[in-house]
Structure 1
């Protein structure tokens, strides 16, 4: 199937659906793909959150992925 044929097939399927969740997902995927290669400029809040996280790591305030999974398992058993 050529790119043109695939585009036409997808366009027809999009026209025939009223599924908002599907349309939102397709929109997100297309938006994500169109932004590949662009540099994301972090907001001051994002920079602050990253710096807070780095400070927590320096202070030993972290737990492993395995420990998080154990805690979740324990919580789900309750």
Structure 2
């Protein structure tokens, strides 16, 4: 479901609700979420690390979760 569709459904639900407590709680939640959203600025080093990781993935140089778990299990047995 796209963001616009979700927004429209929420608006319809809010408009049809007479539950003051629910509406107040929803308002507090949305207000808090909108105030706490932060934009993260990556350093050049972080951007480089991400680019390198993407290249590794494109080259097939990665482990699946199962492979990584097996390696961890083997390491823990030592």
TM-score for the superposition, normalised by structure 2: 0.52
Q: For residue 20 of structure 1, what is the aligned residue in structure 2?
A: none
TM-score for the superposition, normalised by structure 1: 0.52
Larger Rg: 2
Large movers: runs of 4+ above 6 Å? none
Cα distance in 1 between the residues matched to 2:46 and 2:75: 30
Give the total of aligned pairs: 45
Give yes or no for the alignment of 1:57 onto 2:57.
yes
Once superposed, what is the RMSD of the aligned Cα atoms?
1.8
Q: For residue 39 of structure 1, what is the aligned residue in structure 2?
A: 39
Name structure 1 gaps, 5 residues minimum.
1-34
Name structure 2 gaps, 5 residues minimum.
1-34
1:3-57 per-residue CA deviation (whole Å, 9 max, x = no partner) reads: xxxxxxxxxxxxxxxxxxxxxxxxxxxxxxxx83110011100100000000000
Q: For residue 10 of structure 2, what is the aligned residue in structure 1?
A: none
Cα distance in 2 between the residues matched to 1:75 and 1:61: 20
Cα distance in 2 between the residues matched to 1:36 and 1:50: 25
